[in-house]
Chains A and B, each alone.
Chain A
Amino acid sequence: MLLALALTLGVAACGSSDDDTGSTEAEGNSGGAIVSNPDNGKVSLTIGSKNFPEQEILGEIYAQALAAAGYKVKTDLNLGSETVALRAVKSGQISGYPEYASTALTSFFGLEPEDVPADAEGAYEKAKAEFEKEDLTAFPPTPFASANAVGTLKTTAEKYDLEDISDLEGVSEKLTLYGSPECRQRIDCLAGLEQLYGLKFKSFKPVDIGLRYTVLEKGQADLSILFTTDPQLAAEKDKFVILEDDKEVFPSGNVLFVTKKSTAEQAGPDYEKTIVQVQEGLTLPVMQELDARVELEKQTPKEAAAAYLKSAGYTG
């Protein structure tokens, strides 16, 4: 099982990193190589991210792309929560960082999860308008979106006949749910499952998000909060499934790059242009593969980002 997994990913990884022409995922999305502009050398940028793999990969992609465009770039990729990251942007500690539109709307601007626009463009417009009120701005969204999801082993899903989250009615009392510590009280997580679906679980256990698959595999958790971009979902379709969020408790979010308006003005047009250009190739399968490289193959986010930029033709 594990061997088969390593093999699939190994092949996929070779295909995209070793030869420039044969990159399957990013083909057609390539916006051409990033051109270095000497004017940008006067501008120093610090790119931030929250402290989990997908965010660190995104931070590295933006940082390396901006460096290729001629900017002086530093990174600060270990900001804890979104509250910390937002404060770091406002205080100027970082120039900008990638944030999920859904997180911004619910956590920063107090929207209920069901009020988050389902389409990427609508969510972007709304988030951007809210950010503008705080002298911040958001660049257009990535093609991929990420959401929390209730995941389980395929065997568990078959045993209780689960397809949608609503199917948990009547059985959830027998099941344990594991999720990140903050899931417990969030309306777009456990609190939403309880209030909006009316579910009661046997127990909820907080765990580090790095353990979200371990607790399922170990048989400790019947259900675990996963991310829709998780590489395990693509690589081990026969093992893990996610339940359809039929009442939309988990808003899906495309990634927006958040920065200060004044920073965007000082940095010139290449700042937004580079970021939008470089994220064009970031579709769901590509993001899953990049996550796989870091989470399953133990590459560093820096290496994964560099391989992406190279294979998609953004850098030489």
Chain B
Amino acid sequence: MIGALLPHPVLASIEGAIEFIFSPQSSNVTGGKTVGGIDQVWELLLNQIELTVFALALALVVAFPLGLYLGHRGTGESLAIVIGNLGRAIPELALIAFMAAFIGVGVLNLTIALAVLGIPPILANTFVGIHQVDRASVEAARGIGMTEFEILRRVEIPLAIPTLFAGIRGATIAIVATATIAPIAGVLTLGDFIINQNVYGTNGVLAGAIVVALLALTLEFSLAGVQRLLTSKGLKLSNA
């Protein structure tokens, strides 16, 4: 079936990559030691997940409360947008190299550099999500005597869940994909397979790319699932 759709060389490369993922292969430059295989893939995969979790957590801690606050107050729109755009404009590699001179390379450097990627989408979407909640609902909540914090927690956040999650999902994908470059700054992630073609061969490069893509898709679907669980029934109906 797939064979009919894809030209033979493409198919052969994919087969080679899958073989690389599951069983160790010989390499020209290692002096006889094998490379790849499920154990090594697993180790690098875990490193990539760990780094993603750290960076996403930092981005959330910074951007989520700020977005909630600004969104609830309905002020600081320009601030949220400026931070959002600035974050997008910062080149990741330059940031890692710049911070290397102050805090060195390693997990801390990468966590901060990757969090910078995650902050803009979380901040912008949190702000917009909270800000766009129907004012009539908010006034009604205030009318029945809810405190400002209760309004945020029980009215605004539940109604803004789809938009909030769009930001978190965007941040997650950006972070997990970019965590691939971590091996240039002291942490071995799946990018090791991709940047070291001399060691791992083209099979390793493709294998690394495949595993990163699968990881990103898995995270995307998991977060979509969490989002469904958290979305209130009424909102689901109105969206349907």
Residues of A at the B interface (CB closer than 8 Å) are 80-84, 106-108, 110, 112, 178, 181-182, 184-188, 191-192, 195, 205-208, 210-211, 214-215, 218, 220
Contacts and interface: CB of A to CB of B under 8 A. Distances in A.
B229 interface: no
Contact of B196 (A110, A182, A205, A207): A182
A84 B198 CA distance: 9
A185 B101 contact: no
Contact of A80 (B101, B105, B197): B197
Interface of A is mostly: helix
Contacts of B104: 215, 218, 220
A112 B31 contact: yes
A194 to B, nearest CB: 10
7 contacts: A83-B201, A106-B28, A178-B186, A181-B196, A182-B199, A192-B31, A206-B192
Nearest to A217: B101
A191 B33 contact: yes
A81 B198 contact: yes
Given A208-B185, A211-B105, A215-B105, A181 B35 contact: no
Nearest to A195: B31
Given A181-B192, A192-B31, A207-B185, A107 B198 contact: yes
A207 B187 CA distance: 8
Given A84-B197, A182-B198, A207 B186 contact: yes
Contacts of B29: 106-107, 182, 185-188
Contacts of B188: 181, 184, 206
Contacts, number: 88
A106 B30 CA distance: 10
Contacts of A81: 196-198
Given A84-B197, A205-B106, A185 B97 contact: no
Interface string B20-38: 0000000111111101000
Nearest to B40: A185
Given A184-B192, A211-B184, 16 more contacts: A81-B196, A83-B197, A83-B201, A83-B202, A106-B28, A107-B198, A108-B28, A112-B31, A181-B195, A182-B29, A184-B199, A185-B29, A187-B30, A192-B31, A208-B184, A220-B104
